Structures are given as structure tokens and as C-alpha cells.
Structure 1
Amino acid sequence: MKKISIIGQIAEIEREIAMRERVYPERVRTGKMRQAEAEMLMERALAIRATLMFCREHEADIRAFMASRAEVRRG
């Protein structure tokens, strides 16, 4: 699998959230989706975005931690 940057992943989830904001209300209105399902799926997408934003904001610390763990394993 090709590596996708955090910025690219954030852009994609932003696109997905915008699409859901446009599509879900109509699906609920026409009975193709329950309101509770739309809310749950949107909450999941928002959680994904929050996780990616956290990773982007703390990227340097995460990389330093991973490097230190790799050093410990090499012993």
C-alpha cells in the first residue's frame, strides 16, 4: 500500500465529511437512512479527523517516541 501523508489523509476525511453533510440529510428525509445511523457515521468520521489532527499536531513527539522505542529494541 502506498504511504499517504497525514495532510492527504486529513484532506480526504474533510472531503468525506463535507459529502456526508450534503448527502445524509436527504437520505434521512427519504427514509433510506435512519437519523441515528447518520449521526453515528458522522461521529465516526469526525473522530477520524480528530485523531488525524492530533497526529499532525504531535508528529514530532510521536516520531521521537517511535525512534526511542526502536533504539531500545536494538539494545
Structure 2
Amino acid sequence: MDGVTMMENINISQQYDDRQYVDDDVHYATFSGLAAFFGRDMRPHWHDRFFQLHYLTSGKMELQLDEHQYSLQAPLF
């Protein structure tokens, strides 16, 4: 794949927490907890077999979905 950067598949149940979420229908985590583990500037990634929703009550976030860039201000879902 010349000129294409491969994004990492992050399996949240294996990398973030030692509890296993594989059989859970829903899992949630705070942004502060995720930032403490992964850092505040998360590298581009994807999740195989997971959907990720973000809910912010304060602050802002920069988000890239495919080739689209978003600058978002809370509150947001």
C-alpha cells in the first residue's frame, strides 16, 4: 500500500482495562480515564466490532472521521 498509512485497530477490551468487555453489550469510560491511559492527543485509530459514541458536558474536541475534520464544542453527543 504505497503512500497509505495504516490505522491501528484498538481493541478497548484488551488494551485499556484488565477487565474484559468482550461479552458486554455496552461499555462506558470517562474521557479523563481514557486520556490518562492513551494520552490527550489520541492517534488515528479504529475499533473492530465496536461503535464509539462521545458525550461531552464541557470542553471541546477535534475529531477526524475519514477525510472529514470536525471542531466541536460541548455540550455534544
TM-score if structure 1 supplies the norm length?
A: 0.26
Higher strand share: 2
| Structure number with bigger Rg | 1
TM-score if structure 2 supplies the norm length?
A: 0.26
Higher helix share: 1
